[in-house]
Amino acid sequence: MAKENILLGVKDLVMYYNTLSGDVKAVDNVTFDLGRGETLGLVGESGCGKTSTMLTILGLLPFNARILNGAVYFNGENLLDMPKSRIRKEIRWNRISTVFQGAMNALHPMMTAGKQIAEAILLHENVSKREALERAGSLLELVGIERAKIDRYPHELSGGMKQRVVIAMSIACNPELVIADEPTTALDVIIAAQVLELLKDLQRKLDVSMILISHDLSVVAEVCDKIAIMYAGKIVETGTVMEVFKNPRHPYSEKLLAAFPSILGAKRKLTSIGGFPPDLLDPPQGCRFHPRCSYAMEICRKKEPVLSDPGYGQLVSCHLY
C-alpha cells in the first residue's frame, strides 16, 4: 500500500502489564497497516491481546501498563510521542473514536442518551449546548433511533438501542477512524445483524476507516476488507478477508476457520482447537502456537517466527514458509 494511503500504521508495538506475578506480555511486536476508507478485522480467541492493542492506540492504558517498544503512526505522526494533553484534545474522539465493548457498561446510567452524545461534542468543539443537543438528535436519527428518544435514560432503551447510542457517540465529532470493540456482544442474532448493517452503512456514508475487534469470524466476513489474526499477543497472519478465508496459511488461522460453521458450500464436520491459549506471564519459547499445532517442528519450539510474505499475498508468521 502506498505510504500516503495509510491512515494508521502500527509497527513492532510491545506493551506489557506489570502485575504482582510478573509481566503479562499482552501486546508483543504487533504490526499492521490500515488504509483510508478500509475496515480491518482484528480476530482471535479471548485474551489474545485485541482490546489491549486498541487501548494502546487510544492512549487509554491503565497505570500498570508499560509500552516497551514500537510506534503507532496516525497520518504520519507517532501517537506514542505526542503529549497526553494533545492526544486528549486533538486526537481521541476528534479523529480516532471507539465503540467500547458492552453498551450496558459504556453509558452513564444517570444521563440521558442525548446528553451523553452532546457531551462528546461540547468537550471537543466550540459549540453551544443547544447546538450540541440538536446534533445529538440528528445523530440518533442517523443510527436509526427516533429523535423523540433523546431524553431517554439507558434503562429505558433496549440493548440494540443502547448499542446504537454508543455508535452515535463514536461518530459525534466526525472522526477519521472508529475502533469498534465487539460491537455485537450480548445482542441477539437479529439485532446483531442490524448493528453490523448500520456500521457498514455509516462507513460508506461518512467515509471513515474502521478497526473491528471480534472473535466472531462471521462478523468479520460481513463487514471487513482486511483481517489480522492474533494469537497470544502476536499477529500471526494478515491479508484480505477473501485471501485468508479462502486459503488460510497459518495453522492457527486454519484451525480457527475449521472450528466455525460455513453457510456456503457443502456441510462439513467442525473441529475444535485442542489445548488452551498460553499463559502470557510465561509464554512458550519459540512459536507461541507450537504446543497446539499439528505441524510443529523442532525449530518451532526454539525459534520465534517472523511475520513475512511467503509469496501468497498474506503476511504469515510461521516456520512452514
Query: What predicted TM-score, i.e. pTM, was given to this entire model?
Result: 0.92
In the structure, what pLDDT confidence band is assigned to residue 3 with cuts at 50, 70 and 90? low
In angstroms, rounded to a whole number, what is the distance separating the alpha carbons of residues 166 and 116?
A: 9
pLDDT digits (tens, 9 = 90+) for 9-26: 999 999 999 999 999 999
DSSP 228: E
Average pLDDT estimate for 41-52: 93
| CB contact at 8 A, 15 and 8 | no
DSSP 45: S
> 42 pairs with which residues across the strands?
213, 228
Q: Collapsing DSSP states into helix, strand and coil, what is residue 289?
A: coil
> 88 pairs with which residues across the strands?
none
In the structure, what pLDDT confidence band is assigned to residue 194 with cuts at 50, 70 and 90? confident
Percent of the chain whose predicted confidence (pLDDT) is above 70: 96
CATH level 2 (architecture), domain 3-83+177-182+211-316: 3-Layer(aba) Sandwich (3.40)
In angstroms, rounded to a whole number, what is the distance separating the alpha carbons of residues 176 and 22?
A: 37
For residue 265, the model assigns a pLDDT of 61
pLDDT of 256 over the 60 cut: yes
Q: Collapsing DSSP states into helix, strand and coil, what is residue 268?
A: coil
pLDDT of 234 over the 90 cut: yes
In the structure, what pLDDT confidence band is assigned to residue 192 with cuts at 50, 70 and 90? confident
DSSP 308: B
Question: The cell 443510527 sits on which residue?
Answer: 143
Average pLDDT estimate for 182-205: 83
Average pLDDT estimate for 220-239: 94
DSSP 71: E
Amino acid at 178: V
Q: Collapsing DSSP states into helix, strand and coil, what is residue 165?
A: helix
Strands (E), 83-225: 96-99, 177-181, 209-214
For residue 274, the model assigns a pLDDT of 86
For residue 216, the model assigns a pLDDT of 81
In the structure, what pLDDT confidence band is assigned to residue 2 with cuts at 50, 70 and 90? low
pLDDT digits (tens, 9 = 90+) for 54-100: 999 999 999 999 999 999 999 999 999 999 999 999 999 999 999 98
